Homo-oligomer: A and B are copies of this chain.
Protein backbone atom coordinates (compact mmCIF):
# COMPACT_ATOMS: atom_id res chain seq x y z
CA UNK A 1 0.00 0.00 0.00
CA UNK A 2 1.39 3.42 -0.86
CA UNK A 3 1.55 6.09 1.77
CA UNK A 4 -1.13 8.09 -0.04
CA UNK A 5 -3.53 5.19 -0.08
CA UNK A 6 -2.76 4.48 3.53
CA UNK A 7 -3.57 8.10 4.39
CA UNK A 8 -6.79 8.02 2.40
CA UNK A 9 -7.83 4.82 4.10
CA UNK A 10 -6.99 6.24 7.48
CA UNK A 11 -9.21 9.23 6.95
CA UNK A 12 -11.98 6.98 5.84
CA UNK A 13 -11.64 4.65 8.81
CA UNK A 14 -11.58 7.64 11.10
CA UNK A 15 -14.70 9.05 9.46
CA UNK A 16 -16.47 5.79 9.90
CA UNK A 17 -15.38 5.44 13.52
CA UNK A 18 -16.56 8.95 14.23
CA UNK A 19 -20.00 8.19 12.85
CA UNK A 20 -20.18 4.93 14.73
CA UNK A 21 -19.12 6.53 17.98
CA UNK A 22 -21.76 9.19 17.60
CA UNK A 23 -24.40 6.47 17.28
CA UNK A 24 -22.97 4.01 19.78
CA UNK A 25 -22.24 6.33 22.69
CA UNK A 26 -25.26 6.85 24.90
CA UNK A 27 -26.55 10.39 24.89
CA UNK A 28 -26.22 12.49 28.00
CA UNK A 29 -29.92 12.00 28.47
CA UNK A 30 -29.78 8.21 28.18
CA UNK A 31 -26.82 8.06 30.49
CA UNK A 32 -28.46 10.21 33.15
CA UNK A 33 -31.75 8.35 32.97
CA UNK A 34 -29.98 5.01 33.21
CA UNK A 35 -27.83 6.01 36.15
CA UNK A 36 -30.69 7.66 37.99
CA UNK A 37 -32.89 4.59 37.46
CA UNK A 38 -30.16 2.18 38.51
CA UNK A 39 -29.27 4.09 41.65
CA UNK A 40 -32.90 4.31 42.76
CA UNK A 41 -33.53 0.64 42.06
CA UNK A 42 -30.47 -0.36 44.03
CA UNK A 43 -31.54 1.83 46.96
CA UNK A 44 -34.99 0.31 46.86
CA UNK A 45 -33.62 -3.21 46.78
CA UNK A 46 -31.19 -2.50 49.61
CA UNK A 47 -34.05 -1.20 51.66
CA UNK A 48 -36.17 -4.27 51.03
CA UNK A 49 -33.30 -6.62 51.80
CA UNK A 50 -32.69 -4.79 55.07
CA UNK A 51 -36.36 -5.22 55.93
CA UNK A 52 -35.93 -8.96 55.38
CA UNK A 53 -32.87 -8.97 57.58
CA UNK A 54 -30.60 -10.08 54.75
CA UNK A 55 -27.07 -8.78 55.00
CA UNK A 56 -26.18 -8.35 51.35
CA UNK A 57 -24.18 -5.91 49.29
CA UNK A 58 -25.99 -4.62 46.23
CA UNK A 59 -23.80 -3.50 43.35
CA UNK A 60 -24.22 -2.28 39.84
CA UNK A 61 -22.18 -4.46 37.48
CA UNK A 62 -21.79 -5.00 33.76
CA UNK A 63 -21.45 -2.42 31.01
CA UNK A 64 -23.60 0.14 32.79
CA UNK A 65 -21.28 0.09 35.80
CA UNK A 66 -18.28 0.45 33.50
CA UNK A 67 -19.91 2.98 31.19
CA UNK A 68 -19.11 0.87 28.15
CA UNK A 69 -22.60 0.04 26.96
CA UNK A 70 -23.82 0.67 23.46
CA UNK A 71 -26.56 3.27 23.17
CA UNK A 72 -29.99 1.64 23.39
CA UNK A 73 -28.36 -1.76 23.93
CA UNK A 74 -28.18 -2.42 27.59
CA UNK A 75 -29.14 -4.68 30.39
CA UNK A 76 -28.83 -3.29 33.86
CA UNK A 77 -26.99 -5.88 35.92
CA UNK A 78 -27.63 -5.65 39.62
CA UNK A 79 -25.65 -8.11 41.70
CA UNK A 80 -26.62 -9.06 45.21
CA UNK A 81 -23.54 -10.28 47.07
CA UNK A 82 -24.31 -12.67 49.89
CA UNK A 83 -22.00 -14.02 52.55
CA UNK A 84 -21.27 -17.70 51.95
CA UNK A 85 -23.14 -18.84 55.03
CA UNK A 86 -26.46 -18.05 53.36
CA UNK A 87 -25.92 -21.00 51.03
CA UNK A 88 -27.91 -21.42 47.85
CA UNK A 89 -31.21 -20.90 49.68
CA UNK A 90 -29.97 -17.36 50.20
CA UNK A 91 -30.29 -16.90 46.43
CA UNK A 92 -33.94 -17.89 46.52
CA UNK A 93 -34.69 -15.51 49.38
CA UNK A 94 -32.90 -12.67 47.65
CA UNK A 95 -34.70 -13.28 44.36
CA UNK A 96 -38.03 -13.20 46.16
CA UNK A 97 -37.14 -9.73 47.34
CA UNK A 98 -36.05 -8.75 43.86
CA UNK A 99 -39.43 -9.86 42.51
CA UNK A 100 -41.09 -7.42 44.86
CA UNK A 101 -39.21 -4.46 43.39
CA UNK A 102 -39.95 -5.65 39.83
CA UNK A 103 -43.67 -4.87 39.81
CA UNK A 104 -44.58 -8.35 38.59
CA UNK A 105 -42.95 -8.08 35.17
CA UNK A 106 -40.17 -10.61 35.27
CA UNK A 107 -38.92 -13.98 34.12
CA UNK A 108 -37.25 -16.39 36.49
CA UNK A 109 -34.19 -17.84 34.90
CA UNK A 110 -32.24 -20.88 35.95
CA UNK A 111 -29.63 -21.44 33.32
CA UNK A 112 -26.32 -22.12 34.99
CA UNK A 113 -27.24 -19.91 37.88
CA UNK A 114 -30.55 -18.59 39.21
CA UNK A 115 -31.34 -14.97 38.41
CA UNK A 116 -34.28 -12.76 37.64
CA UNK A 117 -34.85 -10.86 34.44
CA UNK A 118 -37.21 -7.96 35.14
CA UNK A 119 -38.77 -5.39 32.84
CA UNK A 120 -39.13 -2.09 34.66
CA UNK A 121 -39.81 1.28 33.03
CA UNK A 122 -38.48 0.19 29.65
CA UNK A 123 -35.34 -1.13 31.25
CA UNK A 124 -34.30 -4.75 31.32
CA UNK A 125 -32.82 -5.50 34.68
CA UNK A 126 -30.97 -8.64 35.67
CA UNK A 127 -30.98 -9.34 39.38
CA UNK A 128 -28.14 -11.73 40.02
CA UNK A 129 -27.48 -13.18 43.47
CA UNK A 130 -23.94 -14.33 44.13
CA UNK A 131 -21.52 -15.08 46.91
CA UNK A 132 -19.19 -12.48 48.27
CA UNK A 133 -15.65 -13.85 48.03
CA UNK A 134 -12.32 -12.31 48.97
CA UNK A 135 -10.64 -13.30 45.78
CA UNK A 136 -11.90 -14.26 42.33
CA UNK A 137 -10.14 -17.61 42.53
CA UNK A 138 -12.40 -18.50 45.45
CA UNK A 139 -15.46 -18.03 43.25
CA UNK A 140 -17.97 -20.87 43.38
CA UNK A 141 -19.47 -19.88 40.06
CA UNK A 142 -18.70 -17.40 37.33
CA UNK A 143 -21.09 -14.77 38.72
CA UNK A 144 -19.03 -14.56 41.91
CA UNK A 145 -16.18 -13.38 39.72
CA UNK A 146 -18.14 -10.57 38.05
CA UNK A 147 -17.56 -7.91 40.70
CA UNK A 148 -13.81 -8.46 40.31
CA UNK A 149 -14.12 -8.08 36.56
CA UNK A 150 -15.93 -4.79 36.96
CA UNK A 151 -13.31 -3.56 39.35
CA UNK A 152 -10.45 -4.61 37.12
CA UNK A 153 -11.84 -2.85 34.08
CA UNK A 154 -13.02 0.29 35.85
CA UNK A 155 -9.56 0.89 37.30
CA UNK A 156 -8.01 0.90 33.83
CA UNK A 157 -10.51 2.84 31.78
CA UNK A 158 -10.36 6.34 30.46
CA UNK A 159 -12.55 8.17 28.03
CA UNK A 160 -10.51 7.24 24.98
CA UNK A 161 -10.54 3.54 25.91
CA UNK A 162 -14.30 3.61 26.44
CA UNK A 163 -14.66 4.89 22.88
CA UNK A 164 -12.43 2.15 21.59
CA UNK A 165 -14.41 -0.47 23.50
CA UNK A 166 -17.68 0.87 22.13
CA UNK A 167 -16.28 0.75 18.61
CA UNK A 168 -15.24 -2.87 19.07
CA UNK A 169 -18.57 -3.84 20.61
CA UNK A 170 -20.47 -2.07 17.83
CA UNK A 171 -18.32 -3.81 15.22
CA UNK A 172 -18.84 -7.21 16.82
CA UNK A 173 -22.52 -6.50 17.18
CA UNK A 174 -22.75 -5.54 13.53
CA UNK A 175 -21.05 -8.69 12.28
CA UNK A 176 -23.05 -10.89 14.65
CA UNK A 177 -20.32 -12.15 16.98
CA UNK A 178 -21.20 -10.10 20.05
CA UNK A 179 -22.55 -11.92 23.07
CA UNK A 180 -21.46 -14.94 25.06
CA UNK A 181 -24.97 -16.35 25.26
CA UNK A 182 -25.38 -19.85 23.85
CA UNK A 183 -27.42 -18.66 20.88
CA UNK A 184 -24.49 -16.57 19.67
CA UNK A 185 -21.39 -18.20 21.18
CA UNK A 186 -19.49 -15.00 20.64
CA UNK A 187 -17.56 -12.36 22.59
CA UNK A 188 -18.83 -11.13 25.95
CA UNK A 189 -18.66 -7.46 26.89
CA UNK A 190 -15.90 -8.20 29.39
CA UNK A 191 -13.92 -10.01 26.70
CA UNK A 192 -14.26 -7.00 24.36
CA UNK A 193 -13.03 -4.73 27.11
CA UNK A 194 -10.06 -6.93 27.90
CA UNK A 195 -8.81 -7.27 24.36
CA UNK A 196 -9.21 -3.54 23.81
CA UNK A 197 -7.14 -2.89 26.93
CA UNK A 198 -4.60 -5.38 25.72
CA UNK A 199 -4.16 -4.11 22.19
CA UNK A 200 -4.83 -0.46 23.01
CA UNK A 201 -7.42 0.50 20.44
CA UNK A 202 -10.26 -0.80 18.28
CA UNK A 203 -8.14 -0.79 15.12
CA UNK A 204 -5.24 -2.44 16.88
CA UNK A 205 -7.57 -5.21 17.97
CA UNK A 206 -8.63 -5.74 14.35
CA UNK A 207 -5.03 -5.64 13.14
CA UNK A 208 -4.04 -8.23 15.72
CA UNK A 209 -7.05 -10.48 15.25
CA UNK A 210 -6.46 -10.50 11.49
CA UNK A 211 -3.44 -12.59 12.29
CA UNK A 212 -4.81 -14.74 15.09
CA UNK A 213 -4.37 -18.46 14.86
CA UNK A 214 -6.49 -21.13 16.43
CA UNK A 215 -5.59 -21.36 20.10
CA UNK A 216 -4.29 -17.79 20.22
CA UNK A 217 -3.28 -16.91 23.77
CA UNK A 218 -3.79 -13.46 25.31
CA UNK A 219 -2.36 -13.33 28.79
CA UNK A 220 -2.76 -9.72 29.91
CA UNK A 221 -1.26 -10.14 33.33
CA UNK A 222 1.44 -12.47 32.09
CA UNK A 223 0.45 -15.32 34.38
CA UNK A 224 1.96 -17.95 32.11
CA UNK A 225 5.63 -18.12 31.24
CA UNK A 226 4.81 -18.96 27.66
CA UNK A 227 1.75 -19.39 25.49
CA UNK A 228 2.32 -23.14 25.27
CA UNK A 229 1.78 -23.48 29.03
CA UNK A 230 -1.61 -21.81 28.77
CA UNK A 231 -2.50 -23.89 25.73
CA UNK A 232 -1.84 -27.06 27.65
CA UNK A 233 -4.40 -26.03 30.24
CA UNK A 234 -7.04 -24.72 27.83
CA UNK A 235 -6.72 -27.47 25.30
CA UNK A 236 -8.70 -27.22 22.09
CA UNK A 237 -10.21 -23.85 23.00
CA UNK A 238 -10.14 -21.74 19.85
CA UNK A 239 -9.27 -18.51 21.68
CA UNK A 240 -7.62 -18.26 25.06
CA UNK A 241 -7.84 -15.01 27.02
CA UNK A 242 -6.56 -15.54 30.54
CA UNK A 243 -8.79 -13.87 33.09
CA UNK A 244 -6.71 -11.17 34.81
CA UNK A 245 -8.56 -11.85 38.05
CA UNK A 246 -8.22 -15.65 37.88
CA UNK A 247 -5.43 -17.30 35.93
CA UNK A 248 -7.35 -20.55 35.86
CA UNK A 249 -10.18 -19.15 33.68
CA UNK A 250 -10.43 -18.53 29.97
CA UNK A 251 -12.62 -15.46 29.45
CA UNK A 252 -13.13 -16.55 25.81
CA UNK A 253 -14.31 -20.06 26.62
CA UNK A 254 -17.79 -19.34 25.22
CA UNK A 255 -16.41 -18.26 21.83
CA UNK A 256 -17.22 -20.86 19.19
CA UNK A 257 -14.83 -21.47 16.29
CA UNK A 258 -17.38 -20.14 13.82
CA UNK A 259 -17.73 -16.81 15.59
CA UNK A 260 -13.99 -16.49 16.05
CA UNK A 261 -13.37 -17.19 12.37
CA UNK A 262 -16.05 -14.71 11.37
CA UNK A 263 -14.47 -12.04 13.55
CA UNK A 264 -11.02 -12.70 12.07
CA UNK A 265 -12.31 -12.62 8.51
CA UNK A 266 -14.43 -9.51 9.07
CA UNK A 267 -11.49 -7.73 10.73
CA UNK A 268 -9.35 -8.35 7.70
CA UNK A 269 -12.01 -7.24 5.27
CA UNK A 270 -12.85 -4.12 7.23
CA UNK A 271 -9.21 -3.07 7.41
CA UNK A 272 -8.88 -3.63 3.69
CA UNK A 273 -12.09 -1.91 2.71
CA UNK A 274 -13.65 -0.02 5.62
CA UNK A 275 -17.38 0.37 5.48
CA UNK A 276 -20.01 1.41 7.99
CA UNK A 277 -22.04 -1.63 6.99
CA UNK A 278 -19.80 -3.77 9.19
CA UNK A 279 -21.26 -1.90 12.16
CA UNK A 280 -24.76 -1.37 10.84
CA UNK A 281 -25.66 -3.99 8.30
CA UNK A 282 -28.42 -3.21 5.86
CA UNK A 283 -31.68 -4.80 6.74
CA UNK A 284 -32.24 -7.99 4.83
CA UNK A 285 -34.67 -7.78 1.94
CA UNK A 286 -36.65 -10.98 2.12
CA UNK A 287 -37.70 -12.81 -1.02
CA UNK A 288 -41.36 -12.23 -1.83
CA UNK A 289 -43.27 -15.38 -0.80
CA UNK A 290 -44.30 -16.01 -4.40
CA UNK A 291 -40.59 -16.34 -5.34
CA UNK A 292 -39.76 -18.79 -2.60
CA UNK A 293 -40.57 -22.00 -4.50
CA UNK A 294 -38.45 -20.90 -7.43
CA UNK A 295 -35.48 -19.95 -5.27
CA UNK A 296 -35.58 -23.25 -3.42
CA UNK A 297 -36.14 -25.28 -6.59
CA UNK A 298 -33.15 -23.66 -8.26
CA UNK A 299 -30.91 -25.38 -5.72
CA UNK A 300 -32.07 -28.83 -6.76
CA UNK A 301 -31.75 -29.99 -3.20
CA UNK A 302 -34.50 -30.76 -0.68
CA UNK A 303 -34.92 -28.58 2.37
CA UNK A 304 -36.59 -30.31 5.29
CA UNK A 305 -38.15 -28.20 8.03
CA UNK A 306 -38.91 -29.81 11.36
CA UNK A 307 -41.30 -27.47 13.09
CA UNK A 308 -42.44 -27.57 16.66
CA UNK A 309 -44.29 -25.40 19.11
CA UNK A 310 -42.92 -22.90 21.60
CA UNK A 311 -40.64 -24.14 24.34
CA UNK A 312 -40.88 -22.17 27.57
CA UNK A 313 -37.34 -21.63 28.79
CA UNK A 314 -34.86 -18.79 29.10
CA UNK A 315 -32.81 -18.30 25.93
CA UNK A 316 -29.65 -20.04 27.14
CA UNK A 317 -31.61 -23.13 28.10
CA UNK A 318 -33.70 -22.99 24.94
CA UNK A 319 -30.73 -22.63 22.59
CA UNK A 320 -28.72 -25.21 24.48
CA UNK A 321 -31.59 -27.63 23.97
CA UNK A 322 -32.06 -26.67 20.35
CA UNK A 323 -28.38 -27.12 19.47
CA UNK A 324 -28.19 -30.42 21.30
CA UNK A 325 -31.28 -31.63 19.48
CA UNK A 326 -29.91 -30.42 16.16
CA UNK A 327 -26.84 -32.58 16.72
CA UNK A 328 -29.01 -35.57 17.57
CA UNK A 329 -31.16 -35.06 14.47
CA UNK A 330 -28.05 -34.65 12.32
CA UNK A 331 -26.72 -37.94 13.62
CA UNK A 332 -30.02 -39.66 12.98
CA UNK A 333 -30.23 -38.43 9.41
CA UNK A 334 -26.61 -39.30 8.67
CA UNK A 335 -26.95 -42.69 10.28
CA UNK A 336 -29.56 -43.53 7.68
CA UNK A 337 -27.21 -42.29 4.97
CA UNK A 338 -29.03 -39.20 3.80
CA UNK A 339 -26.49 -36.58 2.80
CA UNK A 340 -26.80 -33.29 4.63
CA UNK A 341 -25.60 -30.23 2.73
CA UNK A 342 -26.29 -27.80 5.56
CA UNK A 343 -28.29 -27.59 8.74
CA UNK A 344 -29.51 -24.71 10.87
CA UNK A 345 -31.81 -24.15 13.76
CA UNK A 346 -34.09 -21.19 14.25
CA UNK A 347 -36.41 -20.02 16.99
CA UNK A 348 -38.34 -16.87 17.67
CA UNK A 349 -38.00 -17.81 21.34
CA UNK A 350 -41.75 -17.39 21.64
CA UNK A 351 -44.01 -19.46 19.49
CA UNK A 352 -42.12 -21.61 17.04
CA UNK A 353 -38.89 -23.53 16.61
CA UNK A 354 -37.52 -24.83 13.34
CA UNK A 355 -34.79 -27.33 12.57
CA UNK A 356 -33.67 -27.03 8.99
CA UNK A 357 -31.86 -29.75 7.07
CA UNK A 358 -30.90 -29.27 3.47
CA UNK A 359 -30.25 -32.64 1.83
CA UNK A 360 -28.92 -33.77 -1.49
CA UNK A 361 -32.26 -35.48 -1.80
CA UNK A 362 -35.03 -36.46 0.57
CA UNK A 363 -35.01 -39.84 -1.17
CA UNK A 364 -32.49 -42.63 -1.32
CA UNK A 365 -32.66 -45.73 -3.51
CA UNK A 366 -34.41 -48.83 -2.32
CA UNK A 367 -31.17 -50.81 -2.46
CA UNK A 368 -28.58 -50.31 0.23
CA UNK A 369 -25.15 -51.79 0.66
CA UNK A 370 -24.68 -53.38 4.04
CA UNK A 371 -21.17 -54.37 5.04
CA UNK A 372 -20.85 -57.55 7.06
CA UNK A 373 -18.04 -59.18 9.03
CA UNK A 374 -14.58 -59.97 7.70
CA UNK A 375 -14.17 -63.48 6.36
CA UNK A 376 -11.80 -64.39 9.21
CA UNK A 377 -14.65 -64.22 11.73
CA UNK A 378 -16.24 -67.55 10.98
CA UNK A 379 -19.04 -67.37 13.53
CA UNK A 380 -20.05 -63.84 12.56
CA UNK A 381 -20.02 -64.85 8.90
CA UNK A 382 -22.26 -67.79 9.57
CA UNK A 383 -24.70 -65.58 11.44
CA UNK A 384 -24.60 -62.97 8.66
CA UNK A 385 -25.38 -65.55 6.01
CA UNK A 386 -28.17 -67.05 8.10
CA UNK A 387 -29.73 -63.62 8.43
CA UNK A 388 -29.41 -62.38 4.89
CA UNK A 389 -29.30 -65.39 2.61
CA UNK A 390 -32.76 -65.66 1.18
CA UNK A 391 -34.16 -62.96 3.46
CA UNK A 392 -37.05 -60.96 2.09
CA UNK A 393 -35.05 -57.79 2.57
CA UNK A 394 -32.10 -59.02 0.54
CA UNK A 395 -32.23 -57.46 -2.90
CA UNK A 396 -28.86 -58.74 -4.06
CA UNK A 397 -26.13 -60.87 -2.53
CA UNK A 398 -24.70 -61.78 -0.11
CA UNK A 399 -21.36 -61.66 -1.81
CA UNK A 400 -17.75 -61.10 -0.92
CA UNK A 401 -16.00 -57.81 -1.39
CA UNK A 402 -12.35 -57.71 -0.48
CA UNK A 403 -12.28 -59.67 2.75
CA UNK A 404 -15.83 -58.97 3.87
CA UNK A 405 -19.26 -60.35 3.39
CA UNK A 406 -21.68 -57.77 2.12
CA UNK A 407 -25.30 -57.73 1.15
CA UNK A 408 -27.45 -55.35 -0.83
CA UNK A 409 -30.63 -55.07 1.12
CA UNK A 410 -33.88 -53.18 1.09
CA UNK A 411 -33.36 -49.81 2.70
CA UNK A 412 -35.46 -49.26 5.78
CA UNK A 413 -36.17 -45.60 5.02
CA UNK A 414 -36.02 -44.35 1.47
CA UNK A 415 -37.69 -41.04 2.39
CA UNK A 416 -36.17 -38.91 5.12
CA UNK A 417 -39.64 -37.62 6.01
CA UNK A 418 -40.77 -41.15 6.90
CA UNK A 419 -37.63 -41.61 8.93
CA UNK A 420 -38.15 -38.43 10.92
CA UNK A 421 -41.87 -38.96 11.44
CA UNK A 422 -41.30 -42.46 12.77
CA UNK A 423 -38.28 -41.73 14.93
CA UNK A 424 -39.70 -38.53 16.42
CA UNK A 425 -43.24 -39.64 17.10
CA UNK A 426 -42.23 -40.48 20.68
CA UNK A 427 -40.13 -37.32 20.89
CA UNK A 428 -36.84 -38.95 20.01
CA UNK A 429 -35.55 -38.70 23.57
CA UNK A 430 -33.42 -41.81 23.28
CA UNK A 431 -31.86 -40.54 20.05
CA UNK A 432 -30.45 -37.64 22.03
CA UNK A 433 -33.13 -35.03 21.38
CA UNK A 434 -33.02 -32.72 24.41
CA UNK A 435 -35.79 -33.09 26.97
CA UNK A 436 -37.82 -29.94 26.31
CA UNK A 437 -37.55 -30.31 22.56
CA UNK A 438 -38.52 -33.95 22.80
CA UNK A 439 -41.58 -32.94 24.80
CA UNK A 440 -42.44 -30.29 22.25
CA UNK A 441 -42.15 -32.91 19.48
CA UNK A 442 -44.68 -35.16 21.16
CA UNK A 443 -47.10 -32.23 21.41
CA UNK A 444 -46.63 -30.80 17.97
CA UNK A 445 -44.44 -31.93 15.14
CA UNK A 446 -44.69 -30.86 11.56
CA UNK A 447 -42.28 -31.94 8.86
CA UNK A 448 -42.37 -29.72 5.82
CA UNK A 449 -40.41 -30.02 2.61
CA UNK A 450 -39.29 -27.16 0.40
CA UNK A 451 -42.13 -24.79 -0.54
CA UNK A 452 -44.38 -26.34 2.11
CA UNK A 453 -42.77 -23.81 4.45
CA UNK A 454 -44.38 -20.98 2.49
CA UNK A 455 -47.18 -20.41 4.98
CA UNK A 456 -44.87 -19.77 7.92
CA UNK A 457 -42.64 -17.72 5.65
CA UNK A 458 -45.55 -15.51 4.68
CA UNK A 459 -46.79 -14.82 8.19
CA UNK A 460 -43.57 -14.65 10.21
CA UNK A 461 -41.27 -11.79 9.20
CA UNK A 462 -38.50 -12.94 11.48
CA UNK A 463 -38.54 -16.40 9.96
CA UNK A 464 -38.66 -14.93 6.47
CA UNK A 465 -35.48 -13.00 7.29
CA UNK A 466 -33.84 -16.10 8.63
CA UNK A 467 -34.72 -18.21 5.61
CA UNK A 468 -33.72 -15.49 3.14
CA UNK A 469 -30.39 -15.19 4.91
CA UNK A 470 -30.08 -18.95 4.87
CA UNK A 471 -30.73 -19.12 1.16
CA UNK A 472 -28.30 -16.29 0.43
CA UNK A 473 -25.99 -18.09 2.85
CA UNK A 474 -23.74 -15.10 3.22
CA UNK A 475 -23.00 -13.00 6.31
CA UNK A 476 -24.15 -9.40 5.96
CA UNK A 477 -20.56 -8.17 6.07
CA UNK A 478 -19.59 -10.06 2.92
CA UNK A 479 -20.53 -7.68 0.14
Interface residues of A (CB under 8 A from B): 210-211, 213-214, 238, 257-258, 260-262, 264-265, 268-269, 298-302, 341-342, 358, 360-361, 364-367, 369, 375-376, 378, 381-382, 385, 389, 395-405, 408, 411, 414, 471-475, 478
CB of A367 within 8 A of CB of B300, answer yes
CB of A389 within 8 A of CB of B473, answer no
Q: Which residues of B have CB within 8 Å of A264? A: 375
CB of A398 within 8 A of CB of B300, answer no
Copies of this chain in its oligomeric complex: 2
Given contacts A214-B403, A378-B268, contact A472 B360 (CB under 8 A): no
Task: Report the nearest B residue to A479, measured CB to CB.
Answer: B389
CA distance A261 to B238 in the complex (A): 47
CB of A341 within 8 A of CB of B366, answer no
Which of B342, B367, B381, B395 is A265 in contact with, Cβ under 8 Å? B381
CB of A400 within 8 A of CB of B261, answer yes
Task: Report the nearest B residue to A381, measured CB to CB.
Answer: B265
CB of A366 within 8 A of CB of B300, answer yes
Given contacts A265-B405, A342-B408, contact A398 B367 (CB under 8 A): no
| 4 extra A-B contacts, CB within 8 A, seeds A260-B403, A261-B403, A301-B365 | A299-B395, A299-B408, A342-B369, A360-B365
14 contacts between A and B (CB under 8 A): A257-B403, A258-B400, A258-B401, A258-B402, A261-B400, A261-B404, A298-B366, A301-B365, A341-B369, A341-B408, A360-B364, A361-B361, A385-B478, A398-B478
Task: Report the nearest B residue to A260, measured CB to CB.
Answer: B403
Q: Which residues of B have CB within 8 Å of A265? A: 375, 381, 400, 405
Task: Report the nearest B residue to A369, measured CB to CB.
Answer: B341
Given contacts A342-B408, A389-B478, contact A301 B367 (CB under 8 A): yes
Q: Which residues of B have CB within 8 Å of A472? A: 396
Task: Report the nearest B residue to A407, measured CB to CB.
Answer: B473
CA distance A404 to B269 in the complex (A): 15
Query: Which of A268, A408, A411 gathers the greatest number of chain B CB atoms within 10 Å?
Result: A408
Q: Which residues of B have CB within 8 Å of A257? A: 402-403
Q: Which residues of B have CB within 8 Å of A399? A: 473-475, 478
